[in-house]
Amino acid sequence: MDLRSSVYAIVRLVPPGTVVSYGDIAGMLAMSPRMVGRFMALCEQEDVPWWRVVSSYGDLPAHVRVHALDHWDDEGLVLKPNGLGVAIRRYRADLADLADAAEAALGPLPGLADDDSFTE
User: Whole-model pTM?
Assistant: 0.91
What does the domain layout of the chain look like in residue ranges?
3-112
| 8 Å CB contact between 92 and 55 | no
Domain boundaries 3-112, corresponding CATH code = 1.10.10.10
- Segment 1-20 shows an average pLDDT of 96
Judged by average pLDDT, the poorest of 16-20, 40-44, 102-106, 111-115 is 111-115
- Segment 8-34 shows an average pLDDT of 97
| 8 Å CB contact between 95 and 24 | yes
Closest Cα partner for 36 from 3, 71, 9, 61?
Answer: 3
Amino acid letter, residue 49: P
pLDDT score of 111: 85
pLDDT score of 118: 54
Using DSSP bridges, classify how beta strands 20-21 and 53-54 pair: parallel, antiparallel or unpaired: parallel
Alpha carbon distance 115, 107 (integer Å): 15
Residue 64: CA atoms inside 13 Å, Cβ hemisphere, count?
Answer: 17
Tens-digit pLDDT profile for residues 47-91? 999 999 999 999 999 999 999 999 999 999 999 999 999 999 999
Grade residue 120 by pLDDT with cuts at 50, 70 and 90.
very low
